[in-house]
């Protein structure tokens, strides 16, 4: 008899690990009302509000700490308050990439801390995006 393997998922917003080994399907939607009734009726719906600015800054700090530890870069341990307005507008799912880009800007400038210009440059558009519309 095969043993059931534990599969853990860490939610960056809630900062909790969830044993997802018994989950068959997970779906997300920005507006549950746009999901057809015949699908919604078969699901448990959980509404998760967007993080407040303070929560978003806390998430950014955790992501920043994880990147510092993983890359073993000698950056200041705390994000400075002058980055507050810049990092709180980044969606949690984009924070890792944006902060890593900002850290790379600081490394290129031979600094061990982030400044607003580093984060602003990570927001810069990089050419035209492509996609499809139906």
Domain boundaries, the chain: 8-40, 53-123
Classify domain 53-123 at the CATH topology level.
Answer: Helicase, Ruva Protein; domain 3 (1.10.8)
Q: Is-contact 4 12, C-beta < 8 A? A: no
Q: Which residues contact 119 (CB under 8 A, 6 or more apart)?
A: 83, 86, 87, 98, 99, 102
Q: Could you list the pLDDT tens digit for every one of the 134 residues in the chain?
A: 445 566 877 877 677 888 888 877 778 888 888 989 998 898 888 888 888 999 999 999 999 999 999 988 889 999 999 999 999 999 888 999 999 999 999 999 999 999 999 998 766 544 444 444 44
- What is the model's pLDDT at position 130? 47
N-to-C CA span, the chain:
47
Angle in degrees, 0-180, between the axes of helices 92-108 and 53-71, rounded to the nearest 10: 50
- What is the model's pLDDT at position 56? 93
- What is the model's pLDDT at position 28? 83
C-beta neighbour count of 42 within 10 angstroms = 8
- What is the model's pLDDT at position 17? 85
- What is the model's pLDDT at position 122? 65
- What is the model's pLDDT at position 119? 93
């Amino acid at each position: 008899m095969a043993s059931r393997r534990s599969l853990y998922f860490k939610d960056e917003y809630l900062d909790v690990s969830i044993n997802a080994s018994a989950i068959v399907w997970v779906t997300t939607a920005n507006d549950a009302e746009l999901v057809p009734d015949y699908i919604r009726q078969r699901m448990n719906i959980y509404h998760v509000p967007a993080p407040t600015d303070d929560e978003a800054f806390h998430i950014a700090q955790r992501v920043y700490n994880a990147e510092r530890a993983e890359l073993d870069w000698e950056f200041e341990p705390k994000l400075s308050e002058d980055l507050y307005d810049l990092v709180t507008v980044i969606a949690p799912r984009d924070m890792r990439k944006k902060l890593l880009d900002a850290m790379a800007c600081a490394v290129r400038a031979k600094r061990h801390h982030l400044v607003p210009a580093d984060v602003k440059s990570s927001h810069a558009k990089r050419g035209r995006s492509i996609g499809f519309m139906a």
